[in-house]
Amino acid sequence: MNNQIPEDVKENLDSSVLPDEETGATEFLGLPDETIREISNALFEENTEQVDTLLDDLSTSDKAELIEKVTGETRRTLMMGFARHFDADVIPVLDEEVRTGVLENMPADQVAKILSDLDSDDALDIIAPLDTEFQQEIMRKLSAKIRLALEEGLSFPEDSAGRLMQREFVAIPQFWTVGKTIDYLRAARDTLPDDFYDLIVIDPSHHVVGEIPLNKLVRSQRSVKIDSLTLDEVHSIPATMDQEEVATLFRNENLASAPVVDDSGRLIGIITYDDVLFVIDEEAEEDLLKLAGVGQDDLYRTIIPTAFARSRWLFINLLTAFLAASVISLFDATIEKIVALAVLMPIVAGMGGNAGTQAMTVAVRAIATNEISGANAWRVIGKETAVGVLNGLVFALLIGLIAGFWFQNPGLGVVIATAMIINLIVAGFFGSSIPVVLNKFNIDPAVASSVFLTTMTDVIGFFAFLGLASLFLL
């Protein structure tokens, strides 16, 4: 553990220096609501000068946040009237739903101009969600080189490495030396990509031989051969690899960047850690929202498309709710005689649903992060079932006592206690096994698990409770 502060700096240390104020955290917390209000007010009062002044003070990410948080109308006013503040840097940072809306209000040649200023991965990201006709119109306004690059990019599957990569990279031949490499970098300084972290070492046929992190380059003498610095392990990523796998690779191998290769193993681009950060965010959000039956980017969608997207999920839930209702209707005669059953039955079903959701969420997350596979799936399911048994016993006792005293009916207490044990075991078993089985059949467990699970816990909860009551309490 060594702090790399050179000795001659240490000697110059001035220990009498006073603490400064610059370390406050607030500056990073994003755009203050007050600024948004000030800008909205200035717009309302048509005080363009003040709007300009306020916008001048904002960083790129602040501007993106502003555009996302204002109303659709204010957004249009800003993008049209103050276009100079919202340049090519702001557009890629915007939420996809918002961005697509903004771009579809622009003429194709303005969009083309923005795309030309961007790295190839950002440009691809922006053009991909636009509608095909508008895409074609924009493509016609682009230079042949950029158009070809974008067309090839669009030919890769969505969420693949090919969509994620940028075509701007620095590749060097293995027979060079450190000195020659540095001379080359200095000579080519203005045509190099803005940011890069590794040099890709290639052979004469463009096949990737290895990578050299820049920090290895800068600490080596000029005479050292590139060959001798090249890392043994090459992490070439096929362009068709799914972005989730790319993220796993970066995580496991601690990569800052990795080369992307085509079918024949030739270098066609690189993926950098910031692309991966984006993927991890996106995948985590997807899983969370899918579990609740919500599509991505829902926050920025307008009312009618949102309602429509949500209604599909509600419709599926309606079907399972009617299934549960039909189970209850089997026992309507019993309920007529003992109304307490109607009062208590949602407790049994609801506790099962909650316990099942706990087990299911753990399983869905573990599958997404590759922590469950054939090797331990049965162990996880067994453990969740055992947890169901334990909590089933505890809550059965509790609910049995409360229900028995409430309705002055010990038999009812025993029946609800038994039903509770059954349903919590069901919850543990199915909560963990449904995601595993769905995953086995290549169905996304985040999307489909909870429908199957609540159907099970509702149907079995009502059936066990009302069925036992019919048998023993009538």
User: Tokens in use for 274?
Assistant: 């910031």
* Cα–Cα distance for residue pair 279/164, rounded to 1 Å: 9
- Kind and range of the H or E element at 257? strand 257-261
Strand partners, 199: 212
Which 3 state secondary structure label does DSSP give 254?
A: coil
Cβ-based nearer residue to a second copy, 134 or 313: 313
Q: How far is the CB of 225 from a second copy (least distance, A)?
A: 15
Beta carbon nearer to a second copy, 84 or 189: 189
Contacts with 263 (C-beta within 8 Å, 6 or more apart), sequence order: 238, 239
DSSP state letter for 157: P
Q: How far is the CB of 104 from a second copy (least distance, A)?
A: 20
Q: Give 319-369 as a DSSP string.
A: HHHHHHHHHHHTTHHHHHH-THHHHHHHHHHHHHHHHHHHHHHHHHHHHHT
**Angle subtended by helix axes 273-291 and 445-472, to nearest 10:** 20
- Distance separating alpha carbons of residues 457 and 94, to the nearest angstrom: 41
Coil, strand or helix: which one is 151? helix
Which is nearer to a second copy, 110 or 369 (by Cβ)? 369
Shortest distance in whole angstroms from residue 190 CB to a second copy = 9
Are 111 and 86 in contact by the 8 Å Cβ rule? The answer is: no
Residue number, 137 or 283, with CB nearest to a second copy: 283
The string of DSSP letters for 443-467 reads: --HHHHHHHHHHHHHHHHHHHHHHH
Nearer to a second copy by Cβ, of 79 and 275: the residue is: 275
* Contact indicator for 448, 317 with CB cutoff of 8 Å: no
Closest distance to a second copy from the beta carbon of 375 (Å):
4
Rounded-to-integer distance, Cα 244 and Cα 364, Å:
15
Closest CB 294 distance from a second copy, rounded Å: 5
Distance of alpha carbon 424 from alpha carbon 5, whole angstroms = 59
> Of 130 and 212, which has the nearer Cβ to a second copy?
212
Cβ proximity to a second copy: between 131 and 175 the closer is 175
The least CB distance from residue 410 to a second copy, in Å, is 18
Question: Quick one: 57 or 133, whose CB is closer to a second copy?
Answer: 57
**Amino acid symbol at 234:** V
307 — phi, psi (to 5°)? -60, -40
Residue 112: CB minimum distance to a second copy, A: 14
Taking the complex as a whole, the smallest distance from the CB of residue 83 to a second copy amounts, in Å, to: 22
For a second copy, the closer of residues 59 and 136 by Cβ is 59
Report in angstroms how near the CB of residue 232 gets to a second copy at its nearest.
12
State which amino acid sits at residue 172. Answer: I
